[in-house]
Chain A
Amino acid sequence: GEDVEQSLFLSVREGDSSVINCTYTDSSSTYLYWYKQEPGAGLQLLTYIFSNMDMKQDQRLTVLLNKKDKHLSLRIADTQTGDSAIYFCAESSHLPTGRRALTFGSGTRLQVQP
């Protein structure tokens, strides 16, 4: 089946840049997503990238996509303590029914040290 992999933990200092990496398997994914989950809350859509793009920038967030290697990254510039959360990568993949659904990675816990 389809699989999305992420490293489990990242620790950075406040003001530094954070880079969270993800690899996926479905080469037919049209969109790839980044979600943020704060403690005790649901998942919040952060940003997404269309598969024919290499890069997307949205304020402090930069998404890079290497389609050949099926590698996606999320860079957060000037990381703040409020960015501490779990970040999930997700790809749009086919289910056995032929329909598409999102397949999520296990999440990367970002800890920002003051």
Chain B
Amino acid sequence: NAGVTQTPKFQVLKTGQSMTLQCAQDMNHNSMYWYRQDPGMGLRLIYYSASEGTTDKGEVPNGYNVSRLNKREFSLRLESAAPSQTSVYFCASSSGTGGEQYFGPGTRLTVT
């Protein structure tokens, strides 16, 4: 039982490049989330998916897109990376929205 897994663990991009961060959970959770963590700012919600087939914007969605591929998988795409998107990205899942969330190990992204 792996919980929440994320790939890759580390990534360096040049400004303007694109990439997709992958997330998968094996807990049969309905809801999944993407956060970014910046020093001194806690976690900020980028996008979430309350259930398979739905996605909604969070606090900081600009520059990102998401896909809820199936119940297990929720991906985050950066179409044209900017240095302001340098951050640590966490995926999380929960059985329902507002409930306790379980986090992946994070992806450390640097945009130069």
Contact = CB atoms under 8 A, between A and B. Distances in A.
Interface of A: 1, 4, 8, 30-31, 33, 35, 41-45, 48, 88, 92, 95, 97, 99-102, 104-107
Nearest to B6: A42
Max chain A CB contacts within 10 Å: which of B4, B59, B104?
B59
B48 A48 contact: no
Nearest to A1: B59
Contacts, number: 56
Contact of A43 (B45, B58, B59, B103): B103
B30 to A, nearest CB: 11
B53 interface: no
Interface stretch (B11-19, B70-78, B79-87, B92-100): B92-100
Given A99-B50, A101-B48, A106-B42, A33 B100 contact: yes
15 contacts: A31-B99, A31-B100, A42-B103, A43-B43, A43-B90, A43-B103, A88-B42, A88-B43, A95-B56, A100-B98, A101-B58, A101-B97, A101-B98, A104-B43, A105-B42
Interface residues of B, number: 24
Contacts of B48: 95, 99, 101
Given A97-B56, A99-B50, 15 more contacts: A1-B59, A30-B98, A31-B99, A41-B106, A42-B90, A42-B103, A48-B100, A92-B98, A92-B99, A95-B48, A100-B97, A101-B33, A101-B45, A101-B58, A101-B97
Contacts of B43: 43, 88, 104
Given A42-B90, A97-B56, A102 B101 contact: yes
B12 to A, nearest CB: 17
B102 interface: yes
